[in-house]
Amino acid sequence: MALFENTFTTTSLLPVLNKKPLDLGCGRLSASISANGEILSLNGYHPRVGFMTLAPIAQFPDDQFYNSTFVRQYRRRLIEIFETRGHGFGMRPRGNIQDQTLHLVENSMPLVRYHLDTLAVSSLFLAVDVEHYGCLINQVEIHNAGEEEAIFAYEFGGTLSMNRASYGQITEAGPIPMSPLENALVVKDNHLSITNRYLPARADVLLFDGNHPLLLSPATKTTAAPADYTHTGYLSLGKGETRVITIIYILTPVEEEPFTPSASQAEEWARKAMNLLPKWQVGNAETTGFIIQRNLDYILSCCAIPVTDEHVCVITDHQVLPLSWNRDVYYMLQLLFVAERQVASLIEDSQQSAWMKKVRHLLRAHILWTFETAQRPHRYWGRAYLTTGYCKDDVFQLDQQCYPLLELCDYFTGFRDADLVRRVAPQVNEILAMLMDYKDEQKWLFMTGETPGDDHVVHPYHFSSQVLVWWTLCQLASLNSSVPFTTQDLSTWAEHVRQDCLASFTASHGNTTLFAYLTDLQGNYQFYHDANDLPTVYAPLWGFCQQDDAAWQQTLLFGLSTQNKGGFYPGAFGGLGSVHTPHPWPLGDGQELLYAHILHDLKRYEQVLQKLMRVVQWDGLFSEAIHEETGRVTSRHWFSWPGAFISTVLLNISR
C-alpha cells in the first residue's frame, strides 16, 4: 500500500511570522499535527460530554475555571509544545533529521518530508469517517536511495491523556465540572489503546508494516495523570527498497473496543480519504486565495460536527474552545453561502456538484441543530453550547437571538426550501414572542444582558444589536411573504426599530455626532466600538443608513482611533480589538477592510490588507488577537470566526 503513488498537489505554507500546528479532520474527528510530524491532539464528538480530546497535556483542573490567567496559560500549552519542538505522540524518527519540510496536500492534509542519511521519508496525515467513527491515518513512506542497506530507527508513543474538553472561558458563566481522570493504557501486539471509563471514551491505535502488523512492546498501566509509553523499533531497508508504515487512530465515545481494522481495511480507508480531498482551482493559489481555501476547509473538516444524520453542530474551533456561538457560526456559514455561489471559481469542475451538496447539507443541518437540538431553558438561546445542544452559558445576548433567524432567511433565499421553514416555524414564533419580553415599554428597542464580546453591559441597550434586530425583522418579513408563518406586521416592526434606534443612539461626542455603543434611553451613553460588532460596519450594506451617513462614518472613524479606549490599540500592528482580550484583533482588521471598501478608500484598503497578510498564520487561519507592536499572536491561535469573516469580505470584493 502506497498512497504516494497518487498524483496530488502539494502547497507550501505561508512565509509569515505566526505559526501553529496544522489541523485536519472529517467532522467526527479532528487533529492537530506538529511541524515534526507528531500528533498534538485528537478530538471528537461525544454524545454525553460534548467533546473529547486525546492530548499530551494534563486535564484542566476543576479549581481554576474562574482564574482567567490560568485559563489563558492552559490554552497555550499545546502551542508551547509546538514552539519548543516538544513531543506529542505518534511516530518519531531517531537520528539526524535533514531537509525537513512541511506542506499541505490539496491545501488540506499535512505532509512532512525529511531525510535520514540515504533514507527519504514522507509522512502524510489523512482523516476519514469509518463505521460512524472518525479515523486518523498516518502513512509513513520510507525509501532507501542509497547503495547499501539502511536502518530506519524510530520511537512510537509519547504522552497521552484521554479527557473531556475543558470549555474554560475568560468570562466564565458557569463551568461544567470535569469527570475524574483515569487513563488505562494497554499495548498488545500492534495495538495500543487508552481508555477513560469515566467519560467513557477510548482511543485505539493500530500499526502496520505494509500488510503485516508492526509489533509493539507490551505494556499495561492505569494512572490518574497523562500516561507515558515509548516503543523503540528498527526497520531494515535494502538498496532501492520502499516500506510504508500505516498507523490508524480511532477515537470513540465508548469504553469497549469498537472494532479492529485489518491492513486491507486501512488501505481502503486511506484511499477513500484521498478521494475525498478537495480539488481547488489552481488559479486561487495566491495568498488571498490560499486563505479563502484554508478557512473553508477548516470549517468543513474541523468545525462541522455531525450529531445525527440531520443535525450538525458548528463549533468556533476544535482545539481551544469547542463550543458553538450563534454569532460566530453565522459568519462562519456566511463564508459557505458566498463560496457556494462562487463554486466555479473555487473548486475544479469534477468536484463542484459533490462540494455544493456537502455545503448545502451542512447549512440545512445546522439550522435544524440550532432550532431542534440547542436547548433554550428560558426560551432564549444561551451564550454558548456544547455539541450535544446543552446550554453551557444561560445568559441572554440580544444578537444571538437574531443570527439563527437570519441564517434561516439566508438559506431560504438561496435554496427555496419551504419545507424547512415550515418545520421550524413554531420555534421562530417562540423566539419572536420571547423578544417582546425584552422590549422597552415605549420604544422599539430591546435590552441585552451582555455585549457580543460576552462582556457585561453598563447600559442595557446596545447599538449594533438593534441594527441586527432591524435587519432580521426585514428578512423575516420577506420570508413571511413567501412562506407565511406569522400574522404580525414584521415590516412595520422593523421600521419602528430603525427609527427608534436612530433617535436613541445618535449622540454628540466631543465635536462630532456618532452612534453610541450603549445607552439606558435616559440620556446616558457609553462611547466605544468593538471588533465583535460587525452589524455596525454592515449597516449601509444592509440599508440601515447610507454609506455617506455622517454619524455612521464618524462611528467607525472613532472606533478606528485612539479615542476608542479599550477598543483600539495603537502600534506598528495596531488596530481595532476588544476589551474582552485587550489587543488588536484580525476581526477588527476585517471590519476596517470592509469599511475601506465601502468608502472606496483604496489606500486604507491596501494598508489593512497588507497588515492582514503579515499577521495571518502560516496555514491561512487567523487568531483572536495579536500584539500591537510585534504582530505575534497573543490569544487563541485557533478561532474560525475572524478568518471566515475576512475570507467572506475578500470573496465578495473579488466578484
Residue range 420-449, pLDDT digits in tens: 999 999 999 999 999 999 999 999 999 999
Alpha carbons 457 and 396: distance in angstroms, whole number: 12
pLDDT at 273: 86
pLDDT at 276: 83
Cβ atoms 269, 135 nearer than 8 A: yes
Q: Is 172 exposed, middle or buried (0-12, 13-18, 19+ CB in 10 A)?
A: middle
Q: How many domains does the chain have?
A: 2
Q: Is 542 exposed, middle or buried (0-12, 13-18, 19+ CB in 10 A)?
A: middle
Closest CA to 314 of 323, 300, 304: 304
The pLDDT tens digits of the residues spanning 137-186 come to 999 999 999 999 999 999 999 999 999 999 999 888 889 999 999 999 99
> Does some domain include residue 265?
no
Q: How confident is the model at residue 1 (pLDDT cuts 50, 70, 90)?
A: very low
Asked if residue 287 and residue 392 are part of one domain, the reply reads yes
Asked if residue 253 and residue 292 are part of one domain, the reply reads no
Residue 34 Cα distances to 103, 125, 535, angstroms: 12, 11, 37
Residue 535 Cα distances to 331, 459, 491, 503, 545, angstroms: 11, 19, 19, 18, 12
Tell me the average pLDDT across 4-10: 70
Residue 283 has pLDDT above 80, yes or no: no
Asked if residue 335 and residue 221 are part of one domain, the reply reads no
Q: How confident is the model at residue 654 (pLDDT cuts 50, 70, 90)?
A: confident
> Does some domain include residue 468?
yes
What's the whole-model pTM score?
Answer: 0.97
Asked if residue 23 and residue 124 are part of one domain, the reply reads yes
Element (H, E) at 503: helix 490-505
319: cell is: 482545539
Alpha carbons 312 and 366: distance in angstroms, whole number: 5
User: What is the domain-level CATH number for residue 447?
Assistant: 1.50.10.10
**Residue count (the chain):** 655
pLDDT at 6: 57
Q: How confident is the model at residue 86 (pLDDT cuts 50, 70, 90)?
A: confident
pLDDT at 334: 99
State which of 260, 290, 314 marks the end of a domain: 260
pLDDT at 130: 87
State which of 260, 291, 308 marks the end of a domain: 260
Asked if residue 161 and residue 229 are part of one domain, the reply reads yes
Cβ atoms 161, 58 nearer than 8 A: yes
